Amino acid sequence: MGDTLLADDYGIGMPQGHELVDPINHALEVLMENGTYDDIYEDYFGERPMGT
């Protein structure tokens, strides 16, 4: 397992070694890097708490 990206209480459950783990992790990294993740988060959950 790599470094923790976020410490929020949600996730995607998959069997260890599943073929989609790496593509999903890569997609999440891209979304976080280009700001899309934050835009989606704010649309559905509102502003992020301070320090996250």
pLDDT in tens, 3-47: 766 556 678 899 999 999 999 999 999 999 999 999 998 998 887
**What pTM was computed for the model?**
0.63
Domain boundaries, the chain: 19-52
**Nearest C-alpha neighbor of 52 from the set 31, 33, 38, 36:** 38
The DSSP code sequence of 1-52 is ----S---S------TT-TTHHHHHHHHHHHHHTTHHHHHHHHHH-SPPTT-
pLDDT at 12: 83
